Amino acid sequence: MFTFVTLALCQQLGGSSTNGDLRHDSIYSEVVNYQSLVAALARASADLGSLPEFVALRPKLQIHLYDELASTNQTAWQLVDRGHRAGTVVIAAQQTAGRGQWGRTWVSARGGLYLSLVLEPEMVLAHKNLLTLTSAWGVAASLGNLGIPLQIKWPNDLVSQGRKVGGILTESRVKCAPTGGSESQIQQVVIGLGLNWDNPLPEKALSVRQLLPDLAIARVKTLEDLAAIALRGLLQGFYYWQQYGDEAFLQAYQQRLADRGKEVTVDGHPAVVKGVSLRGDLIVSGDRGDEEFVRSLKPGEISLGYNV
């Protein structure tokens, strides 16, 4: 799935707030059960892969379940336009027009997890790609805390053993700063997440279910369990960055970066992946023969591919 798309620049949206820890509308899903999801979200934080410093956090969520949607991100934006606020969650049993990187189709058959979460992060526009980093890291960390071996493949895939397990699609709306004023602010964000579970798997893919170690089976039995862990993970990544700052977050992120140390070719010259910047660029260093170089590459300027 894609990394970050900015939508509807310079528009101001209103809306009423959502009160209460959990609210629910639109029970259409035949796969995800609302009561089971509520029970999963109420479990001990350790069972959801939360870091110890975040166990007391109980996010306010408004959950919308659907049997079939074109796109959970699209529906989330429609709800935002109707006044829904941060904490809105859209989950579909399947998507008919799920979007991936560069507008590619994201195959979303029944049995997988397809959800979107609305946030209002109060961030400057320069940090827009950071939300893809925090989201991918948060989900990988939450599942990793349960013994499920996940890494991040730049820019936005979740992988294990070199095979794709899921991906992130982050979209935003921006409030433009007045002329001569402060920097434009990210007003609202929709984070889309797809994870393989019981869905038919494409080539070079694995599911979370296939990766479950014996000790995690009791904690991740159902799609509702996975959804609860994923939602806490998306938020946990953002909380971690807020609490510990840029450098600590980047260090934690790059410990889960599958591409680190990978040999690549840049402009015909050999190079090695060193890490990722806060702007979401891939950092590589290489040798032109007469001098060494360091480059920052944006998504689309290089393809890392899959090795299996």
Residue with tokens 């991740």: 220
pLDDT for position 31: 74
Contact 56, 44 (CB under 8 A): no
3-class secondary-structure state, position 122: coil
pLDDT for position 5: 37
Residue 19 burial by CB count (10 A; 0-12/13-18/19+): exposed, middle or buried? Answer: exposed
Peptide bond before residue 200 is cis, with ω within 30 degrees of 0: no
pLDDT for position 14: 27
Segments of the chain scoring below 50 in pLDDT: 1-20, 26-28
Contact 235, 57 (CB under 8 A): yes
- Domains with residue ranges and CATH for the chain: 4-255 (3.30.930.10), 263-297 (no CATH)
pLDDT for position 202: 85
**What are 65-85's pLDDT values in tens digits?**
999 999 999 999 999 999 999
Distances in whole angstroms, Cα of residue 100 to Cα of each of 5, 24, 118, 170: 11, 28, 18, 10
As a whole number of angstroms, the distance between CA 249 and CA 268 comes to 32
* Sequence-ordered list of residues with C-beta below 8 angstroms from that of 233, at least 6 positions apart, any chain: 49, 138, 139, 140, 141, 142, 143
pLDDT for position 258: 95
